[in-house]
Amino acid sequence: MSDSKLAGQFFDAAIGLLQRVRDEEAGSIAAAGAAIADTVEAGGRLFAYGAGHSSLAAQDVVYRAGGLALMNLLTVPGTTGVDVMPATLGSALERVDGLASAVLDSSPATAGDVLVIISLSGRNALPVEMAQNARALGLKVIGVTSVAYAESTRSRHTSGGFLRDHCDIVLDSKIAIGDAELSAPGIEAPFAPASTVVTSAIMQSMMAAAAEQLVTRGIEPPLLRSGNVDGGHDWNGRVMTEYRERIFYRH
């Protein structure tokens, strides 16, 4: 069987996006890493949030081998991945006013913590309000979004603003509106989204930058190891015990 031309084109498109982000967002990624390192050093907590498929990249840095043990998932019921039936309900919940404030008020997040908010379009009420309310509470907000949406679509939040308008640091994923990299004769709809690949890479690069910053300050990064390597469980147990007051997924 011959190789798939379209599969190869998707890899090319994804690699091109990753190269753009690496080159064009390097300063913002470094700033995000420094903000995370500042919070770790100061005794604060780390949170990540994303709705729908954007939650995949948030989940990827929580309780992750090779990741920072202090990164916690902030969840809004019904919006974490595709976890409700019908699945379309999750999209509807992203447009409901008031959910973000209710979640933050009942969460352990507090002033001085960092919240990474992932939203491809950044136009729905939930991520915009999450950023607004988090900053009002004194959290530092890092937004991972596609700036293209803010430049060419209309906000669905009453303020008329986008996620990028309410963040301390913004990382642009460079994903085009519609999140589909390919089109081909005989296929009516564009296809092959790359946002998960690119956004997950941004998140991991941010964690790497934070670890680099911590080492330069003489602080051992609180990293987890794989439980499938010898000594991994013992290592993780030590880290979780040392930082138990700042880890919420272990309770």
Q: Which residue has the tokens 């999209």?
A: 91
pLDDT at site 95:
62
Closest CA to 119 of 74, 69, 183: 74
Distance CA 49, CA 47 (A): 7
pLDDT at site 92:
63
- The 3-class secondary structure across 124-146, one letter per residue, is CHHHHHHHHHHHHCCCEEEEEEC
Residue type for position 197:
V
Q: Provide the pairing of β-strand 182-184 with 187-191.
A: antiparallel
- How many Cβ atoms are within 10 Å of 38's Cβ, its own excluded? 17
Closest CA to 50 of 20, 30, 71, 28: 71
3-state secondary structure of 187: strand
pLDDT at site 111:
96
pLDDT at site 17:
98
- Cα–chain center distance at 11: 22
- Each of the 251 residues of the chain gets a pLDDT tens digit; together they read 468 999 999 999 999 999 999 999 999 999 999 999 999 999 999 999 998 889 999 999 999 999 999 999 998 876 776 666 666 666 666 666 677 788 888 899 999 999 999 999 998 888 999 999 999 999 999 999 999 998 988 887 778 789 999 999 999 999 999 999 999 999 999 999 999 999 999 999 999 999 999 999 999 999 999 999 999 999 999 999 999 999 998 64
Residue type for position 113:
D
The DSSP code sequence of 61-115 is TSS-TTSBTTEEE---TT-BSS-SSSTHHHHHHTT-TTHHHHHHHTSS--TT-EE
